[in-house]
Chains A and B, each alone.
Chain A
Amino acid sequence: MSKEDWGESMQGTGVSKGLCLAKVIVFKESPIPLDGIWKGYEEEKRVFLSTAEDIYEKTRTLAEKTRQSVGKEEAAIFEAHCSILRDEELIRPIVEEIQKGKTAVKAIEEVIEGHIRIFQGMKNEYMRQRAGDLQDIKVQLQRTILGIAVPDLSELKEDAVIISRDIAPSVTGSMDLAHVAGMVMEGGGRTSHTSILARTLEIPAVVGVKGILDYAEDGDVAAVDGESGEVYLNPSEETCRAFRERIARERKRKEKRQRLAQLPCRTADGREIKLYGNIGTPGETERALICGAKGIGLLRSEFLYLSRDRIPREEEQYQAYASVLEAMGDAPVIVRTLDIGGDKEVPALGLEKEENPFLGLRAIRLCRAEEELFTTQIRALLRASEKGNLHIMFPMISSLEELRWAKERVGQCREQLIREGIAVKNKIPMGIMVEIPSTAVLAEAFAEECDFFSIGTNDLIQYTLAVDRGNDKVSQLYSFYHPSVLRLIRYTIEGAHEKGIPCGMCGEAAGDKKMIPLLIGLGLDEFSMSPGSLLEAREVIPRLDSRECRALAEQITGLKTAAETEQLLDGYLKKKEEEHE
């Protein structure tokens, strides 16, 4: 098949989305000759040991560089390489083989290949990846000893698409990544190092493009779609034009979003609105930051407990909380303590199925019944407090006794940790999730005994209107525009401000475009929502005037049905959008 015959498009698996159009660099590694002459035991041994040490040093530098420029997870690959390069069970057998009369290159081949075969034979994906690490180390050692140069990609003159069979981590690690426009591989998979790296750095990448190395040459042009997995080699003028247009559009959209996300968010009359993110796992922190979250308004801690057969230990919890706190720096991180009940499958807890789980033993009630569950979490949180700006939030509080109990336990855990010689931050704000009508009604009394409120609208609506929104037959009755719900929100905010504490919201209503003007009018201090909703909220808020919003809130207080409220809010938002255009 000649170049013309296969058409211009080839199909692979897109593993990192994005588009690019650039010149090709083909990265090929020449085979390593194993038939060198033995230069004697002492000499071969010296060459091997000094090469291993050189590569160890280089890899350590690479690990440090990667940790700073890419991230901890990617750096761990190189740290593992370092451990292998200093492994006495690797060094000793190689030296023994050299002593038997083999060259260093041959000895390395035999010993490392033996280990590679063991790892390749394992079922576990993690272990199979270690075979790739060993392969990478083996080739580096042999090439260095033989003085075979690796194509140098550390300084690229212009943007390039790298086409290769598979790219070893040691190669990607030293690549001039700022100029890598895209990566195309014949081999590889979604979970290979290169794919992970490409996603982290948002470099378009396609793997599994069979046969591309037979055609691609340095200086060709490639257009890559990292989402669909299409690769065009020397595309027609028409395809090029289409790609250029798509790339320009993508870039504009991204720039606008990022610009928006980093600015402080203010209303037209200059009132700053705190926009925070809701996250469910530590891994989502980064996305929240990219979307411009200035804090975490809700870290759900349930991820630690779900789908596992034992209760997470203190250390494990500590690591998870610490990683979020560290990533957020001085910005507040509100961690909600365990919010779980009989409606969720938690094998580790062995909870009984209840007739009516939403009115049953859940969240703080469950923690009171199983105190150890609670104290383990609190200890982990207090230990992590030194890492950042921790706020602790208790869910499902329906009476002051519950709040007092929780605060008392936190106090006891703190004393205990200090007795054990563990540092705990002095002042850790403790607040409650306001999601039960009784608490909203008594907001002022609760505000006197805690440091902040966060309104959880999802449960507040369900408990106020007696509607299960998961039930199709009644879900149309579920609405945050219901005047009773709005009145409870108003009581809660007023109660908080009466006692001088801030009030936020972490339910879905906080990210609803129509609700935002009303919530600003009611004086809500902080809006926390899923990272994806933050960008939209940022577009709406600068068009609003907080004084006008206050008047809107007054007007709405007089309305009697959800439909009337929604209509008014909808009209107001439309008016604002038209004014903007």
Chain B
Amino acid sequence: MVREKVTIISKEGLHARPADTLIRLANQYASKIEIVCGEDKTINAKSILHVLGAGINCGAEVEVVCEGEDEQEASKRIVQAIKEGLDE
């Protein structure tokens, strides 16, 4: 399992385009990919309903948790993409 903390910098938070970018990226990996946001709230990064429903705003600190055969690569790419603002 790989865990890494990262701050959301997309201006709109995880809505619209940034959310879409994240979900597309997460679905490219076989690993289970979760985002821990706030007090023990964990969501599935591959689910549009989870990601949008969590209402994560700009400035929030989240933890990306990847588990599975390609967890290293998945974690690296996803954390990097979030740091770059998810193509906002």
Contacts of A130 in B (CB 8 A): 52
- In the complex, per-residue mask of A316-334: 1 if CB is within 8 Å of any chain B CB, else 0: 1001000000000000000
Tell me whether A88 and B46 are in contact (CB under 8 A). yes
Nearest-CB residue, chain B, relative to A79: B20
Tell me whether A115 and B53 are in contact (CB under 8 A). yes
Tell me whether B49 and A87 are in contact (CB under 8 A). yes
Pick from A87, A118, A313 the residue with the most CB of B within 10 Å: A87
Tell me whether A84 and B49 are in contact (CB under 8 A). yes
Nearest-CB residue, chain B, relative to A82: B48
Contacts of A122 in B (CB 8 A): 55
With both chains docked as a complex, state the minimum distance between the C-beta of A304 and any C-beta of chain B, in angstroms. Answer: 12
Taken together as a complex, chains A and B put the C-alpha atoms of A310 and B11 apart, in Å, by 9
- In the complex, per-residue mask of B47-88: 1 if CB is within 8 Å of any chain A CB, else 0: 111101101000000000000000000000000000011011
Counting chain A residues whose Cβ lies within 8 A of the other chain, the interface size class is 20 to 34
- In the complex, per-residue mask of A269-288: 1 if CB is within 8 Å of any chain B CB, else 0: 00000000000000000000
Taken together as a complex, chains A and B put the C-alpha atoms of A90 and B51 apart, in Å, by 12
Contacts of A89 in B (CB 8 A): 44, 47, 49-50
Q: Is A471 an interface residue (CB 8 A)?
A: no
Give which listed residue, B44, B55, B85, contacts A88 with CB less than 8 A.
B44
Q: Is B6 an interface residue (CB 8 A)?
A: no
Tell me whether B48 and A87 are in contact (CB under 8 A). yes
Contacts of A118 in B (CB 8 A): 53
Taken together as a complex, chains A and B put the C-alpha atoms of A185 and B9 apart, in Å, by 39
Tell me whether B47 and A88 are in contact (CB under 8 A). yes
With both chains docked as a complex, state the minimum distance between the C-beta of A158 and any C-beta of chain B, in angstroms. Answer: 39
Taken together as a complex, chains A and B put the C-alpha atoms of A126 and B52 apart, in Å, by 10
With both chains docked as a complex, state the minimum distance between the C-beta of A273 and any C-beta of chain B, in angstroms. Answer: 40
Q: Is A268 an interface residue (CB 8 A)?
A: no
Contacts of B23 in A (CB 8 A): 83
Would you list which residues of chain B between 10 and 24 have a CB under 8 Å from chain A? 11-12, 15-16, 20, 23
Taken together as a complex, chains A and B put the C-alpha atoms of A521 and B46 apart, in Å, by 63
Taken together as a complex, chains A and B put the C-alpha atoms of A60 and B47 apart, in Å, by 18
Nearest-CB residue, chain B, relative to A84: B48
Give which listed residue, B50, B52, B84, contacts A127 with CB less than 8 A.
B52
- In the complex, per-residue mask of A118-136: 1 if CB is within 8 Å of any chain B CB, else 0: 1100101011001000000
Q: Is A408 an interface residue (CB 8 A)?
A: no
Contacts of B46 in A (CB 8 A): 88
Contacts of A290 in B (CB 8 A): none
Would you list which residues of chain A between 46 and 105 have a CB under 8 Å from chain B? 80, 83-84, 87-90
With both chains docked as a complex, state the minimum distance between the C-beta of A122 and any C-beta of chain B, in angstroms. Answer: 6
With both chains docked as a complex, state the minimum distance between the C-beta of B67 and any C-beta of chain A, in angstroms. Answer: 15
Tell me whether A90 and B15 are in contact (CB under 8 A). no
Taken together as a complex, chains A and B put the C-alpha atoms of A451 and B47 apart, in Å, by 51
Nearest-CB residue, chain B, relative to A123: B55
Q: Is A315 an interface residue (CB 8 A)?
A: yes
Nearest-CB residue, chain A, relative to B46: A88
Contacts of A126 in B (CB 8 A): 12, 15-16
Taken together as a complex, chains A and B put the C-alpha atoms of A118 and B87 apart, in Å, by 26
With both chains docked as a complex, state the minimum distance between the C-beta of B29 and any C-beta of chain A, in angstroms. Answer: 14
Taken together as a complex, chains A and B put the C-alpha atoms of A88 and B44 apart, in Å, by 9
- In the complex, per-residue mask of A256-273: 1 if CB is within 8 Å of any chain B CB, else 0: 000000000000000000
- In the complex, per-residue mask of A286-324: 1 if CB is within 8 Å of any chain B CB, else 0: 000000000000000000000010100101100100000
Contacts of B84 in A (CB 8 A): 313, 315
Contacts of A124 in B (CB 8 A): 15, 55
Tell me whether A119 and B85 are in contact (CB under 8 A). no
Tell me whether B49 and A90 are in contact (CB under 8 A). yes
Give which listed residue, B15, B48, B88, contacts A83 with CB less than 8 A.
B48
With both chains docked as a complex, state the minimum distance between the C-beta of B80 and any C-beta of chain A, in angstroms. Answer: 13
Contacts of A119 in B (CB 8 A): 52-53
Contacts of A115 in B (CB 8 A): 49, 53
Contacts of A319 in B (CB 8 A): 87
Tell me whether B47 and A87 are in contact (CB under 8 A). yes
Would you list which residues of chain A between 106 and 125 have a CB under 8 Å from chain B? 115, 118-119, 122, 124
With both chains docked as a complex, state the minimum distance between the C-beta of B77 and any C-beta of chain A, in angstroms. Answer: 16
Taken together as a complex, chains A and B put the C-alpha atoms of A308 and B85 apart, in Å, by 15
Tell me whether B87 and A315 are in contact (CB under 8 A). yes
Pick from B48, B53, B87 the residue with the most CB of A within 10 Å: B48
Tell me whether A80 and B48 are in contact (CB under 8 A). yes
- In the complex, per-residue mask of A22-37: 1 if CB is within 8 Å of any chain B CB, else 0: 0000000000000000
Give which listed residue, A87, A127, A313, contacts B85 with CB less than 8 A.
A313
Taken together as a complex, chains A and B put the C-alpha atoms of A217 and B11 apart, in Å, by 47
Taken together as a complex, chains A and B put the C-alpha atoms of A308 and B10 apart, in Å, by 13
- In the complex, per-residue mask of B22-48: 1 if CB is within 8 Å of any chain A CB, else 0: 010000000000000000000010111
Contacts of A127 in B (CB 8 A): 15, 52, 55
Contacts of B53 in A (CB 8 A): 115, 118-119
Contacts of B15 in A (CB 8 A): 124, 126-127
Pick from A88, A308, A319 the residue with the most CB of B within 10 Å: A88
Contacts of B16 in A (CB 8 A): 126
Contacts of B85 in A (CB 8 A): 313
Nearest-CB residue, chain A, relative to B50: A89
Taken together as a complex, chains A and B put the C-alpha atoms of A130 and B49 apart, in Å, by 9
Question: 25 pairs across A/B with beta carbons < 8 Å?
Answer: A80-B20, A83-B20, A83-B23, A83-B48, A87-B47, A87-B48, A87-B49, A88-B47, A89-B44, A89-B47, A90-B49, A115-B49, A118-B53, A119-B52, A124-B55, A127-B15, A127-B55, A308-B11, A310-B11, A313-B84, A315-B84, A315-B87, A316-B87, A316-B88, A319-B87
Q: Which 5 A-B pairs have the closest CB atoms?
A: A89-B47, A83-B48, A87-B47, A118-B53, A89-B50
Given contacts A87-B49, A90-B49, A126-B16, 9 further A-B contacts (CB under 8 A): A84-B48, A84-B49, A90-B47, A115-B49, A118-B53, A122-B55, A124-B55, A126-B15, A127-B52
- Residue ranges of A at the interface with B (Cβ–Cβ < 8 Å): 80, 83-84, 87-90, 115, 118-119, 122, 124, 126-127, 130, 308, 310, 313, 315-316, 319
- Residue ranges of B at the interface with A (Cβ–Cβ < 8 Å): 11-12, 15-16, 20, 23, 44, 46-50, 52-53, 55, 84-85, 87-88
